[in-house]
Structure 1
Amino acid sequence: MANIIRRGPFSELMNMRNEMDRLLGDTFRLFDQKLVDGRFGLNPSMDVYETPEEVVANIDLPGVKKEDIKINIVNNEVSVSGEVTRENKVENGTYFLQERSSGKFYRSFTVNTPIDTDKVKATFKDGVLELKLPKAEQAKPKEIQIDE
């Protein structure tokens, strides 16, 4: 006895549309986010973690000079921006592969705790920008003793 599978007339088209949405979803989501931000450009990778004393961000900026990096903190939103420039000239040759990006970059993130902006430290070594954002005193955890 054969099994009968019922299909609607447009099921294959809907399957194809769902697959295209899945494949292109990330691309359009990133594009839409850049439209919302009003910024186009490179989006460097970063890691952000928190300790009891501070928030630390490590941002990959290979090929960037430290004097080309701008760091701003406004209302606990940290933003890092600048520009990557690459020399695209080759004497006596022609590129057959060129993957390294150049142009403006911008990254921002919001810290969920007040930051002591007077004590922020930024270091740049081996293409990695490290931001150490100390928590303000009122944001640091305090242990309370119970009176008898």
Structure 2
Amino acid sequence: MSLVRLELFREVDSLQREMNRFIENSIARSDDNRLTTSFVPAAELEETSDALHLKLEVPGMESKDLDIQVSAEAVSISGERKSENKTQEGGVTRSEFRYGSFRRVIPLPNRIQNNNVQAEYKDGILNLTLPKAEEEKNKIVKVNLD
């Protein structure tokens, strides 16, 4: 049996460097030099016979803060979140601000009719209905058995 020397401080130092790198990559500066954090909203894509349904979770944002661009093969959604929470208790005011921007590009499994996209934003959930292109709806693939 061989002995392995544990270098605890080197491991802790390495962990600290990794955490610093993670924080630096998560925090950016906005145009007015304010610290902001970026986030990636959760997404869910469902396919039906005639459309793709994309649901994106973007709480704390207004619809005017969202930029949605759709091509035949992908959806690009970006926005900036600005929220403020103020409470007063016992003569003390506590204020919390959350700022952050995001950009997410979601490739689509099928071509769509990007000029017929329907969008709805309610309670922090963005719903997009992306109708499939006609050639995708009628696409038949022959399967060979060997």
TM-score by length of 1: 0.64
Q: Does residue 112 of the first structure (1) align with residue 109 of the second (2)?
A: yes
For the pair 1:93 / 2:96, whether they are aligned, the reply is: no
Aligned-pair Cα RMSD in Å:
3.5
Structure 1 residues 108 and 93, CA gap change in structure 2 (3 angstroms): farther
User: What corresponds to 1:134 in structure 2?
Assistant: 131
The answer for unaligned runs of 5 or more in structure 1 is: 33-39
Runs of at least 5 residues in structure 2 that lack an aligned partner in the other structure: 27-36, 142-146
Count of aligned pairs: 125
- Matched-pair contact (CA < 8 Å) for 1:52–1:141: no
1:1-148 equivalences in 2 (<5 Å): 5-7=1-3, 12=6, 31=25, 41-87=38-84, 92-95=91-94, 98=96, 101-142=98-139
Letter in 1 for 2:67: K
SS of residue matched to 2:94: coil
Deviation at 1:131, TM superposition (A): 0.7
Question: Could you tell me how far apart the structure 1 residues matched to 2:43 and 2:82 are?
Answer: 20
Separation in structure 2 between the aligned mates of residue 124 and residue 52 of structure 1, nearest angstrom = 23
47 and 101 in structure 1: CA distance in 2 versus 1, 3 angstrom threshold? farther
Deviation at 1:137, TM superposition (A): 0.8
Deviation of residue 50 (structure 1)?
A: 1.4
Aligned to 1:101, what secondary structure does the other structure show?
Answer: strand
1:37 aligned residue: none
Sequence identity (%)? 29
Residue type matched to 1:126 in 2? Answer: D
Residue 78 of structure 1: how far off its partner (Å): 0.6
Higher strand share: 2
TM-score by length of 2: 0.65
